[in-house]
């Protein structure tokens, strides 16, 4: 355990939210206008509460999707795809200062080409986008969507992802725990061994399954239909969550999120729709919805989890066509990371 490093919780005060915008040379080509409008909706919703940094292949092209709006900033950097949660920087507070960690992103275990995405955080620093922070690079594969934390040293993750082949297979579970303790200041790590979503490419990222809402509350995906393929795995995941205790030794307050009606792509493949993939920002929680009957209930449940925040539903049906959702396309940076607006293009 590194006493000088703290991995801040997502609900702590933020400086800005990063998006990496879709383009024609990505897998979004056949849905480009539709998915672009979804990204615009996310950016506009977030910009009501904080700055938004939009990483673009072509600034003028991307700006054409936006009308005048406060707090939206653009920077041109090449990308393979759009999943900022996994190629974005992971920020820690070390000795009171913000340090942005740049881990290897290898397309979720070498499933997809990610060479450009893996360079985005480094290039943003080279351009001077970040202020009041330093960059530290690691020879270790780690994606933001694989880690949940309470800001006080607890990390929640899944064994299927962090122990998967083609990431860090040379390390044992114990060695990975020590790595997270040393570099993220983890004091304890809670491992889930069960839980998955059909159509997921990430090897069960925790942010699709179970999320900290505060230090004592975990919202998780439930499945109560014995005929659903997810039933046994998610029931077992629930049992595991019931065994976990918070830092004070008390069981977590568990909030079960409904399982959305099954969504399928044009070829009949099931898509990974989940309400757990919400994004916490200053003053609000952006929640993915899918145009199904469970949407309203999910929004009400999350309002109870975040009574002091505005709950904003954003239709992310198009995002799951490429097997991710709202949290997957966003990465937040804490208040201590500055945004150098003098060098960025503004949509105002």
Whole-angstrom Cα distance, residue 18 to residue 47? Answer: 11
pLDDT in tens, 178-196: 999 999 999 999 999 999 9
pLDDT over threshold 60, residue 88: yes
Per-residue confidence (pLDDT) for residue 198, from 0 to 100: 97
What's the predicted TM-score (pTM) here? Answer: 0.97
pLDDT over threshold 90, residue 229: yes
Per-residue confidence (pLDDT) for residue 281, from 0 to 100: 98
Per-residue confidence (pLDDT) for residue 346, from 0 to 100: 82
Per-domain boundaries in the chain: 5-346
pLDDT over threshold 80, residue 140: yes
CA dihedral 235, 312, 22, 271 (to 10 degrees): 30
Helices (H), the chain: 32-47, 59-63, 84-87, 107-110, 120-126, 159-162, 173-184, 231-243, 295-305
pLDDT over threshold 80, residue 1: no
Per-residue confidence (pLDDT) for residue 348, from 0 to 100: 62
pLDDT over threshold 60, residue 55: yes
Whole-angstrom Cα distance, residue 195 to residue 182? Answer: 27
Per-residue confidence (pLDDT) for residue 2, from 0 to 100: 56
Whole-angstrom Cα distance, residue 16 to residue 37? Answer: 20
pLDDT in tens, 22-37: 999 999 999 999 999 9
Per-residue confidence (pLDDT) for residue 312, from 0 to 100: 98
With cut-offs at 50, 70 and 90, classify the pLDDT of residue 81. very high
pLDDT in tens, 165-174: 999 999 999 9
Q: What is the CATH number of domain 5-346?
A: 3.75.10.10
Phi and psi at residue 179, to the nearest 5°: -65, -45
What is the overall mean pLDDT for the chain?
96
Percent of the chain having pLDDT more than 70?
99
pLDDT in tens, 109-126: 999 999 999 999 999 999
With cut-offs at 50, 70 and 90, classify the pLDDT of residue 258. very high
Residues 6 or more apart in contact with residue 60 via CB below 8 angstroms: none
Helices (H), 7-119: 32-47, 59-63, 84-87, 107-110
pLDDT in tens, 206-216: 999 999 999 99
Question: Comparing C-alpha atoms, which of 284, 300, 282, 297 is closest to residue 14?
Answer: 282
User: What are the counts of helices (DSSP H) followed by strands (DSSP E) for the chain?
Assistant: 9, 20
Contact 237, 210 (CB under 8 A): yes
């Amino acid at each position: 355990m590194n006493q000088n490093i703290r991995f801040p919780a997502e609900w702590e005060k933020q400086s800005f939210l990063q998006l990496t915008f879709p383009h024609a040379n990505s897998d979004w080509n056949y849905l480009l206008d539709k998915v672009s409008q979804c990204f615009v909706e996310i950016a506009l919703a977030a910009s009501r509460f904080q700055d938004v940094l939009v990483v673009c292949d072509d600034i003028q092209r991307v700006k054409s999707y936006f009308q005048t709006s406060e707090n939206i900033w653009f920077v041109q950097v090449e990308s393979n795809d759009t999943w900022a949660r996994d190629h974005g920087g992971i920020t820690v507070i070390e000795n009171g200062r913000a340090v942005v960690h740049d881990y290897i992103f290898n397309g979720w275990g070498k499933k997809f080409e990610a060479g450009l995405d893996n360079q985005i955080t480094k290039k943003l620093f080279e351009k001077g986008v970040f202020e009041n922070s330093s960059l530290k690079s690691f020879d270790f594969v780690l994606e933001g969507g694989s880690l949940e934390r309470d800001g006080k040293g607890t990390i929640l993750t899944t064994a299927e992802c962090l122990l998967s082949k083609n990431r860090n297979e040379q390390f044992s579970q114990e060695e990975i725990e020590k790595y997270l303790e040393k570099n993220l200041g983890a004091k304890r790590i809670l491992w889930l061994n069960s839980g998955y979503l059909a159509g997921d490419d990430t090897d069960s990222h925790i942010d699709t399954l179970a999320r900290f809402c505060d230090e004592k509350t975990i919202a998780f995906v439930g499945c109560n239909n014995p005929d659903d393929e997810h039933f046994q795995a998610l029931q077992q995941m629930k049992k595991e969550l019931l065994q976990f205790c918070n830092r004070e030794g008390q069981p977590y307050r568990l909030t079960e999120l409904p399982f959305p009606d099954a969504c399928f792509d044009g070829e009949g493949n099931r898509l990974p729709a989940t309400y757990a993939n919400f994004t916490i920002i200053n003053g609000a929680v952006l929640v993915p919805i899918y145009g199904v009957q469970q949407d309203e209930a999910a929004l009400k449940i999350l309002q109870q989890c975040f009574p002091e925040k505005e709950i904003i539903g954003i239709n992310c049906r198009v995002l799951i066509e490429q097997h991710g959702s709202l949290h997957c396309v966003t990465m937040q940076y804490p208040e201590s990371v500055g945004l150098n607006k003098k060098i960025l293009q503004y949509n105002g």
